[in-house]
Amino acid sequence: MGTNHYDVMIIGTGPAGLTAALYGVRMGLRVIVLGDIPGGNTHMIESLENYPGFPGGISGSQFGVQAFQQAQQDGAFFTMSRLQQLDEKDGLFVGADTKEQRYTAASSIIATGRIPKRLKVNNAHVKGVHFCSLCDGPLYRGRSAVLAVIGSDNGAGQHALTLARIADKVLLVSKDKEFKMDTALQSRLIEQNNVSLLPNTEVIDYEGQGLLEGIVVKDPKVDRKSIVVNGVFLAVGWRPNTKILHVTVEKTADGYLKTDNKLMTSRSGLFAAGDVRESDMYQVLNACADGARAAKYCAEFLEERNFLG
């Protein structure tokens, strides 16, 4: 085999991929990890407060970078490039990355997470619509901005909390009758004097040509009402990130990868971990646990088939 052959090819550098890499190398596997953002979606978490071991919380970016360093120190090889497609040929998984390098491996762990959805409105791509408050919120600092967060869950609540420190006013808008976030987070939002919660309110359009000038909403009292906002931060759902997969695998109706109780997909030797996989909880803790288990069962799979050199 050439130098680009590994026991396991891990796709994704979020908590699932990084934990799979850490466990994989510690079990003696030759591990390659493709991905470009150390920590994946954790860079959007201002303060990770529900992961044990960090009383008072840890910044999501710091958590991601440290997990990355830990896997690297233990011997995982990172390409720092994205995978363009994953195929299977002659019993091996074959990946080509954005640097036009080709890698092969006897097994693979898909840990590519999920991508935020946009609203289905006329000018959905107008400038001023964002997905990450930590990344893009600072654009509005010092601009007397009114910002709208659209969504209902903990992710939406986190965005609103982050933006409350930057904007004059933050509107948290959800078409749900009641917000679906933790009670503790909702209480913290209510304590902020510049956050307004607007449940039962659906955003039906954006206003502005080229640059966002406002949102149009409907609620039980009015069919159409314009609200001036300078920026929108979306937290309205997710789409699993599986488009690189050029092998056929079973998925749920929403496109999440189906796995057995050893995290193997319907394709032998192809495992899935973290948010890309069908689950009832999409959190850092679950992604890490998935990564560890996927690496363990991947090692077992390789051992049983005498794939380890």
Lookup: tokens for 79? 């390409």
Output the smallest distance, CB 209 to ligand FAD, in A.
29
Task: Determine the interface stretch with ligand FAD among 21-29, 250-258, 284-292, 294-302 (rule: CB under 6 A).
Answer: 284-292
Q: Which is nearer to ligand FAD, 32 or 171 (CB)?
A: 32
Closest CA to 272 of 255, 290, 289, 285: 290
Among positions 108, 158, 174, 186, the unique one binding ligand FAD when judged by CB under 6 A: 158
Note whether 9 binds ligand FAD by CB under 6 A.
Answer: no
**Nearest CB to ligand FAD, comparing residues 218 and 251:** 251
Task: Return the amino acid letter for 159.
Answer: H
- Shortest Å distance, C-beta 159 to ligand FAD: 6
Q: What are phi and psi of 209, to 5 degrees?
A: -100, 115
For residue 186, which amino acid is it?
Answer: Q
Choose among 123, 8, 1: nearest CA to 77: 8
x-or-dash pattern for ligand FAD, window 59-98, by CB under 6 A?
-----------------------xx---------------
Instruction: Scan residues 35-54 and list those touching ligand FAD (CB under 6 A).
Output: 35-37, 40-42, 44-45, 48, 50
Closer by beta carbon to ligand FAD, 4 or else 283: 283
Given the rule CB under 6 A, which of 1-9, 117-125, 136-144, 151-159 is the region that contacts ligand FAD? Answer: 151-159
Q: How far is the CB of 305 from ligand FAD (least distance, A)?
A: 26
| Total residues at interface with ligand FAD (CB under 6 A) | 36
CB of 223 to ligand FAD, least distance (A): 31
Q: Which CB sits closer to ligand FAD, 112 or 265?
A: 112
Is 11 near ligand FAD (CB under 6 A)? yes
Q: Decide whether 214 or 240 has the Cβ nearer to ligand FAD.
A: 240
- Closest approach, Cβ 14 to ligand FAD, in A, equals 2
| Angstrom distances, CA of residue 40 to CA of 43, 67, 137, 235, 260 | 6, 11, 18, 16, 24
Residue whose CB is less far from ligand FAD, 6 or 307: 6
113 interacts with ligand FAD by CB under 6 A = yes
Does residue 287 belong to the site contacting ligand FAD (CB under 6 A)?
A: yes
Provide the binding-site residues for ligand FAD, judged by CB under 6 A.
11-17, 34-37, 40-42, 44-45, 48, 50, 82-83, 111-113, 154-155, 158-159, 241, 244, 274-275, 282-285, 287
